[in-house]
Copies of this chain bind each other. A is one copy, B any other.
Amino acid sequence: MDSDNDSPFGYDAYRRTCPSHTVLEMLASKWVYLTVCALRRGRMRNGELARKLEGITPKMLTQTLRVLERDGLVRREIFPVIPPRVEYELTDLGRNLAGLLNQIRSWSEEHAPDIKAARTRASMDPQADIATLG
């Protein structure tokens, strides 16, 4: 989808065939990144996760975990006891994704300051015209 030929970059083709889209779409979900990071430390109960991901609602917690489970990144284990006990952990694939997150994080730490700086400049620019007029 980037270095092949000079054919068009249709979004539909991108969505259906480009592997990057699958991954980026996942990472775009609001709680996915934080959830994977939280689970990097190891197996965890639902309640522990809820506390770690502070501010998350039960609905979003479940929804996020279900998606990650469906995609093979998280394994869910149910203990048939009262009161209920459910534990989550990263699969190999999930830990592998965490590796990609590290790469993203590494790039971001190095370059996010440049982006922030550009944003600041951009928001100053309307003034800059005036400032240079004196």
Contact = CB atoms under 8 A, between A and B. Distances in A.
A86 interface: no
Q: Quickly give the copy total for this chain.
A: 2
A-side interface size class: 35 or more
Interface string A1-40: 1110010111110100011111110111011011001101
Contacts of A79: none
Given A20-B33, A53-B9, A104-B23, A115 B72 contact: yes
Q: Which 3 pairs across A and B sit closest by C-beta, in order of nearness?
A: A72-B118, A28-B28, A19-B112
Interface of A: 1-3, 6, 8-12, 14, 18-24, 26-28, 30-31, 33-34, 37-38, 40-41, 51-56, 69-73, 93, 96-105, 107-109, 111-119, 121-122
